Amino acid sequence: MKTIKQILRLYQGGEIFTAFDTETTGLMNKTDKIIEIGAVKFNKDGIIDKFSTLINPQMPIPFCATKVNGITNQMVANEPTFAQICDDFLDFINGTILVAHNANFDIGFVNAELLRLNKSELKKPNIPAVDTLKNSRKIYPELGKYNLQFLANEFCISVESAHRALDDARVCMEVFQHNLAHIKD
């Protein structure tokens, strides 16, 4: 991906970004599945659109995952599968620069789901992605802690529903914007 200063120029020039987040059944994208995707499309002028859906993983959600994100088997029982929402999500992010907190995790899960459907992965540089975790570490090396909720608290960003995909995507967008506003020349 481009340097943070190049990203700042793209942002100031009106480029469209999409901050997104996934909630999953676990940490291993080869065996675990996405159970929620949230995305916020935005530019320097504000939010353009939002995308949010629960996803039926077609497998039981482990209790340890439910403990983190609050998503239960009952909540996803009648929701669409990833195959059913895939094209809508890809259309939503098309032509935008992706932003995620720990981007390799979220992109890795989306790619694993795409491969299960015999679809092409989101590949860099075709699908550029900005990682707010990596950028926060570079811009604020003194913090020592960089999880999304910690940064939100540190930067006075409101968190309405931690570990729910749409709110985490919005918080990620605001961390991204905060980072850009604090780049040192």
pLDDT digits (tens, 9 = 90+) for 52-74: 999 999 999 999 999 999 999 99
Confidence of residue 163 (pLDDT cuts 50, 70, 90): confident
Q: Is 60 exceeded by the pLDDT of residue 177?
A: yes
Q: Is 73 left (phi over 0), alpha (psi -120 to 50) or beta?
A: alpha
Q: Does domain 4-181 have CATH number 3.30.420.10?
A: yes
Q: What is the pLDDT of residue 4?
A: 87
pLDDT tens digit sequence for 1-24: 578 899 999 999 999 999 999 999
pLDDT score for 81:
99
Between strands 97-100 and 17-24, the pairing is parallel
CB 146 within 8 A of CB 136: yes
Query: 178 an active-site residue?
Result: no
* Confidence band for 125, pLDDT divided at 50, 70 and 90: low
Longest Cα separation, the chain? 51
Q: Is-contact 78 37, C-beta < 8 A?
A: no
What's the mean pLDDT when you consider all of the chain?
95
Nearest to 25 by CA among 52, 55, 62, 56: 62
Q: What is the pLDDT of residue 101?
A: 98
The pTM score is: 0.94
Domain boundaries, given as residue ranges, for the chain: 4-181
